[in-house]
Amino acid sequence: MSTMIRPALSLLVLMTLVTGVAYPLVVTGIAQVAFPGQANGSLVRDADGKVRGSSLIAQDFVGDAWFHPRPSAGGFATVASGASNLAPSNPALATRVIDDATQQWVPGQGPVPLALLTTSGSGLDPHLPPAAITYQLARVAAARDVPVATLQQLLDAHIERPWVGPPVVNVLELNRALDAL
């Protein structure tokens, strides 16, 4: 019996060391050398070096002077990230969407884009379609006393065109550029 248990335990310890210690250390080391920014969370820092967020996680911007991201089911907290799991027939979802539409609605601009009313699957998606940002231009321009054309140029400079999928705008990066104006 010990002739079977000893090799099995030895193999278990060896594979635990290889797959649980050596492999993660090698992959982490390669990531730190090849992609240090991404490996450390794609952190965004201000001029003083203070961390202001991550370019991969949405942030809640409050007030008319900022571009707003899509709503978050988890309140922009990474621990509670995820969808709300409310069915389309759930009255709570309808109430939330109506409340958000009322807050975001700009007279004379038509309906609020769906991207400003619906949450992403993770609840932390930092990107919006350019049309959702365009819808907010008049509000932000009025709050900051800046011409809409200036904000349109800022938006155009921050449109990302991924290899796959439609163009998007990172709201955190756009608001950082807006703050620098």
| Number of domains within the chain | 2
Q: How many CA atoms lie within 13 A of 55 on its CB side?
A: 17
Tell whether 45 is covered by a domain. no
Asked whether residue 27 falls in the same domain as residue 69, the answer is no
Q: Do 152 and 94 fall within a single domain?
A: yes
- By residue range, what is the domain housing residue 23? 2-39
Regarding whether 148 and 76 lie in a shared domain, the answer is: yes
Establish if 47 belongs to a structural domain.
Answer: no
Residue 160 belongs to a domain: yes
Residue 24 domain-assigned? Answer: yes
Could you list the pLDDT tens digit for every one of the 181 residues in the chain? 678 888 889 999 999 999 999 999 999 999 999 988 888 878 878 778 888 777 777 788 888 888 988 887 777 766 666 666 777 788 888 888 888 888 888 888 888 888 888 877 776 788 899 999 999 988 889 889 999 889 999 999 999 998 998 999 998 889 888 888 8
Residues 62 and 34 in one domain: no
| Residue 82 located in a structural domain | yes
Nearest to 100 by CA among 140, 126, 131, 69: 69
| Interval 103-122: pLDDT, tens | 888 888 888 888 888 877 77
Distances (CA, A) of 1 to 7, 12, 14: 11, 17, 20
* Helix-helix angle 148-157:130-144, to 10 degrees: 140
Residues 76 and 131 in one domain: yes
Residue 85 lies in a domain: yes
